[in-house]
Amino acid sequence: MKQDLKNIAVLTSGGDAPGMNACIRAVIRTGIYHGKNMFGVMQGYQGLIDNNIIPMDARSVSNILHMGGTILKTARCLAFKEEAGMELAFKNLQEKEIDGLVVIGGDGTFTGAKRFGEKYNINVIGVPGTIDNDLSGSDFTLGYDTAINTVIEAIDKIRDTADSHDRLFFIEVMGRDSGCIALRTAVASGAEAVLLPERETSLKELITKLKAGASTKKSSSIVIVSEGNKYGGAYDIAKSVKRKFTHYDTKVTILGHLQRGGSPSGFDRILGSRLGYAAVNALIAGESMQMVGLYGNAIKLTSLEDALNTHNYKLESDLLEMTHVLSI
């Protein structure tokens, strides 16, 4: 049922992701186009609690489409997990008569939005914004594509030096409990192996694979280590492998937070624009407690509850077998 919302606010929360600014721009301008008063909340849920909520117009979001990070800033807000924090947040929204909320973020953001929406009956729509790509109901989350491109660029550079020195590199990538970044970048960079949180590759299997490469005169090898895999960080794994496989000189690179920064790719600019536009249209159409996502090439709504169900999110496991075969 169509809703007569007057005032809509948008916030970004959790880890920043490239494309968030494109999404903020789309939310603000779509709302204004439909005659709504638009607000930006600074620093995620912390800004709701602190009443750091500012009016925004079409010009507040000029020239941000290409920028990484988030102009609204972001935070991981512990106070919002408490009843007192949520109550204050609700009071501040009520005071400004804000009747619709768009939250851009990952699983922590959606968990907060779900509790908040259920308790205070707020109209809330989530936009999947995280480089981890670990939400169900969207093939891609905002920032994932840019992060992949950033990692690939870095690995290409490491490959140059690895090859020149005949070295074995362990490269650690982000993703928390999700191996999505690791898996896609492994394919795109021709990595010899990849260690994921979702699938177990034993160190024995890894060493067998590296030995096979060395025996067929591979000059360098690259192993991508997803930070959430069960054998630990890249330094630990490199140490364990080195003990049993001395063929190469071994080096470690932790890519870290550079994976979250940078100008969004064309894909993420378009995705951010589509999702922001769809989020406001969904609110106006009377939807709430839903996430807007990209499914195939269409925008689809998924309940926040289903979006958070990691059993529904699919790792592209065919890529794992393919990486193994293509890197012989």
List residues near ligand F6P by CB under 6 A.
Answer: 15, 106, 130-132, 174-176, 227, 260
Amino acid at 248: Y
Q: Dihedral angle at the C-alpha atoms of 55, 59, 65, 69, nearest 10 degrees?
A: -40
CB of 52 to ligand F6P, least distance (A): 20
The span from the CA of 248 to the CA of 254, in Å, is 19
176 is in an annotated binding site: yes
Name which of 134 and 287 has its Cβ closer to ligand F6P.
134
Q: How far is the CB of 54 from ligand F6P (least distance, A)?
A: 24
Tokens 């409990």 label which residue? Answer: 177
Q: Which positions ≥6 away from 4 have C-beta within 8 Å?
A: none
Residues 6+ apart with CB under 8 A from 311: 136
Secondary structure of residue 24 in the 3-state scheme: helix
Rank residues 106 and 276 by Cβ distance to ligand F6P and give the closer one: 106
Q: Which residue has the tokens 């289903």?
A: 306
Nearest to 24 by CA among 268, 284, 259, 258: 268
Q: How far is the CB of 74 from ligand F6P (least distance, A)?
A: 10
Task: Please identify which residue in the block is written with the tokens 């499914």.
Answer: 295
Q: Is 251 annotated as a binding residue?
A: yes
Q: What letter would DSSP give residue 207?
A: H
Nearer residue to ligand F6P within complex by CB, 126 or 175: 175
Rounded to 5 degrees, φ, ψ at 255 are -75, -30
Q: Least distance in Å: CB of 106 to ligand F6P?
A: 5
Specify the residue, 135 or 210, whose C-beta has the smaller distance to ligand F6P: 135
Q: Is 130 annotated as belonging to a binding site?
A: yes
Which residues, other chains included, contact 145 with Cβ-Cβ below 8 Å and sequence gap of 6+?
Answer: 265, 267, 268, 271
Task: Check residue 258 and report its DSSP letter.
Answer: G
Distance of closest approach, residue 71 Cβ to ligand F6P, in angstroms: 18
Output the smallest distance, CB 133 to ligand F6P, in A: 10
Q: Is 35 annotated as a binding residue?
A: no
Q: Is 222 annotated as a binding residue?
A: no
Of residues 21 and 327, the one with the C-beta less far from ligand F6P: 21
Cα gap 41→73, rounded to integer Å: 9
Q: Report angle CA 325, 327, 328 to the nearest 5 degrees.
A: 75
For tokens 């490959």, name the residue.
Answer: 159
Q: Which of 16, 99, 132, 134 is catalytic?
A: 132
Our answer to whether residue 160 is catalytic in this structure is no
* Residue closer to ligand F6P, measured from CB, 7 or 43: 43
Q: Is 290 annotated as a binding residue?
A: no
What is the C-alpha separation between 84 and 78, in angstroms, rounded? 11
280 is in an annotated binding site: no
Which residues have a catalytic role annotated? 132
Q: List residues forming the annotated binding site for ATP.
A: 15, 76-77, 106-109
Q: List residues forming the annotated binding site.
A: 15, 25-29, 76-77, 106-109, 130-132, 159, 167, 174-176, 190-192, 218-220, 227, 251, 257-260
Q: List residues forming the annotated binding site for substrate.
A: 130-132, 167, 174-176, 227, 251, 257-260
